[in-house]
Structure 1
Amino acid sequence: MSFRAWYTVHKWTSLIATLFLLMLCLTGLPLIFSHEISHALGTSADPPQLAPGHTGRASIDAIVADAQARRPQDVLQFLVAEADEPDLIYVRMADRIDSPGLTAFYTYDARTGQFLSEYPLGQGFMDVMLRLHVDMYMGLGGTLFLGLMGLLLAASIVSGIYVYGPTMKKLRFGSIRRDRASRLKWLDQHNLLGMVTLVWLLVVGVTGTINALNQPIFAAWQASELKALAEPFRGQPPVTGPVSTEAALKAALAAAPGKSLSFMAYPGNDFATPQHFMAFMQGDTPLTSKLLSIVMIDARSGQVVTTGEMPWYVSTLMLSQPLHFGDYGGMALKVLWLVLDLLSIWVLWSGLVLWWKRRHVTAEQRQKALQGMPEQVTG
């Protein structure tokens, strides 16, 4: 492709996506520290201090019974755990077992069974930031649209490398022509910071696009692997009445040594079968804690039916989600993500400024530039 073609690609992919990317960068700033902000706002509970030497664990059945008693009109959907909060357990409830929405998200002390908090669903600052970042309150259509903006970002970055290439032959890397026209200073800053943030922007753009496919990816797993697991039991009646969550969890932990629970779906949920619990287990290292294996447990007997690994496309999604928000290397990586996010906001903003300034370059100035006149009107 010619320089002009690369420039056209860079210009239009940037213009189309920039406003949405600015919104994503701005809303992504607090989401990088979502865990810390939720604790500061009081919407996420810390496990209380217990007496030294306390090593017991609460009855999971007692915990889910307490949750059910708080909302007797609703049903249990998921039991959820987090690798970095081993002393907490979460119970998710909904009006129906297969409902995509939820009515309550309770936090319990996994050591004592004490109820700690109810997460405020659909309200608060962090919820607004998350919804804007994920789907702009437009559901799956909004999510897929933002995924498309991630692809445009990747195209803008690749084309920007080719556009910046000829400039690199004339200038030392990192040069800012402060003694020239203001537009050239903006251009040099835009190019410099664009190169500094290039890899990071590619990473968050690509992982953001993968994350936008969250629903289609799990729908593919449900329609293939999960359907195949459920097929031998298709003629059996669904489980009704009380079942033991604790027995299912103990069976899952025994079947997956060295792993802990990420979440467990109740029978009848879209992530399980009508007769079985489905436990999704995670490893104990920074990498394997982001990957999932499955344990299928008979809800009536509490016996493990089968175990397995999630397919590659689900694993790709699981790895991309924490990488998108810098959730791999503790606080140091989050701070780095913050700095790169702020620099990216400046790159996007300076790109808009350059486009706006270029619109006001006169035809006479353009003609002079083409004839080799002063380059402050080029770029």
Structure 2
Amino acid sequence: MIGWWRRQSQATRFEWYVRGSFYTQVALSPLFLGGLVQLEVAPGHRFVLIALLVLHTAVCLVLVHHGIGAYQGSRPRPTGLILVGGGLTAVGLVAGYLAYPEPTPGHPDGPAAGLLLVVSVTYVSALAAAARPRTSIAVAVACCGVGVLHDRTGGTAIALGSLLIGVVLAYRVSLWMLVVVRELDRARHVQAGLAVAEERLRFARDMHDVVGRTLSVVALKAELAAQLARRGRAEAVDEMLEVRRIAQDSLTEMRAVVLGYRAADLDVELAGARALLASAGIECRVIGDGSGLPASLQGALGWVVREGTTNMLRHSEARTCTVTIDASPAAVTVTMCNDGVPSGAPPRFGSGLIGLKERIADLGGTVTVERLTPDRFQLSVHLPAAPVLGEGAVPA
């Protein structure tokens, strides 16, 4: 149960809290208020009263459930349930006053007044979640009018009216907060998606600038070499050698883009990560400084920060993130830790992390991911101070 709760987003947790508080109040109000006013009824009426209250409470619970959905826009307004609940409330009040028109001897009120308090609070609480505030307040005023008929001084009506209006306002404020939290959660996911899309667009622009320009030159050079070859000119060989040189340079530049070495340095990537995470509502704190690291490490660790940030935006519910840079003469370690583990499954390498692991391995380093109790995810990269260039690695 605890694991399931931790897997839910903050917005979902808040919604379940609001729903739980509404359901609990509607379900327990008849028991609490009934015990408070001590409904003293004849034995023959007791079974009828209990059956009425159980049916009335059940209808009000269903009304609350559908009403919250209608307020969020996920289901239509439960007009039928509103009418059924109102009808049961009216039947209970009329039956109570017909059976007990006078107060109980020795008490200021009677069973009819107690029944008014129980059914009116329960129904208005449910109605506040399903109808507009003016409708709920109008029903509350009508219940107060019934109280005036029983208590000529108006004291019961004033107390009941204050209670009912307070319930209506509390319910509507809670529902308004629920919608605001849901909208903020959706906006956060949209911002995260936009941040990832912006990063992809930037990468696409880099690829276009490097590969597109070079391929255009290769096409022109190849066409020129073909024309020269048709004429038997020796310059065709030189042009083809030039095509090969351009293609090799383009391949080197493309690898540099893929490996992230075109980034200025680690500090630039950290600043970009902080801006992207802030736009998604994630607080990012950086501990340590990598400005004095060699250029080869700057580029590799810049790619680590970029990949870790992208994964955090796409796959987590993080609220905070801490980036720690621990540099020594022998090695440097970068750790990215966030509090947004989305599920109870053990951490695993996705395609992005697999690519990152391969690139770091080419430099003689290691990549590890792990779950920290209770809901934290940590990405750690360890690199020697003098990277060992392996196959596929590109020096800075």
TM-score past 0.5 threshold: no
Structure scoring higher RCO (CA < 8 A, sep ≥ 6) equals 1
Provide TM-score, normalisation by structure 1: 0.26
Q: Which has the higher helix share?
A: 2
**TM-score, normalized by length of structure 2?**
0.25
